[in-house]
Amino acid sequence: MSENPVTVAESGNGPYAQSITIRHHSMNADESETLGGHDTGPSPYEYLMAGLGACTAMTIRMYATNSGWPLEKISVAIRHDKIAAADGKSKIDRFDRVVHLIGGLTDQQRARLLEIAQKCPVSQTLQRSSLVLSSLG
């Protein structure tokens, strides 16, 4: 279990606005105005995509550095959508991730780094079922 909990509390800046504290970091979350929020911060799904993108870039960077490969810069663009599941009745989440790699990499190195993207811990978490336990404090 992580040592430092993430704390989220209503900020009072609108019906959905939240203040987030992670160690010494402070952030805001909210829904867009089209969903009834005041857009005072990214939405929860935007934070989820940011976590996936950051984890992807960090994992690729670690692998390229440990391999001594000439990777100069990484950027990751992510989109999220809900799509029909195989049963045709329910929905599943789909994350489209586009990885941009800058540097003098070979085609084989680029292909390997794309494979490594699938191995980032957040990617693996999203690809399997999770257990979320709730209790009153």
What is the pLDDT at residue 7? 96
In the chain, how many domains are there? 2
pLDDT at residue 3, as a whole number: 79
Q: Which domain holds residue 56?
A: 44-127
- Give 10-residue mean pLDDT values along the chain (137 residues): 87 96 96 96 97 98 98 98 93 96 98 97 93 91
Is 101 within the bounds of a domain? yes
Q: In this structure, are residues 23 and 4 in contact, taking their beta carbons and an 8 Å threshold? A: yes
The answer to whether residue 95 sits within a structural domain is yes
Question: Could you tell me which residues are beta bridge partners of residue 25?
Answer: 22
Rounded distance between C-alpha atoms, residue 19 and residue 7, angstroms: 8
Q: Note whether 12 and 59 are same-domain residues.
A: no
Q: What is the pTM for the complete model shown?
A: 0.91
Same domain, 62 and 122: yes
pLDDT confidence of residue 1:
67
What does the block give as tokens for 83? 């799509």
pLDDT of residue 130: 87
CATH number at residue 69: 3.30.300.20
DSSP per residue over the chain, as a string? --SS-EEEEE-SSSSS-EEEEETTEEEEE---GGGTS---S--HHHHHHHHHHHHHHHHHHHHHHHHT--EEEEEEEEEEEEEE-TTSSSEEEEEEEEEEEEES--HHHHHHHHHHHTTSHHHHHHHS---------
* pLDDT for the residue 63: 98
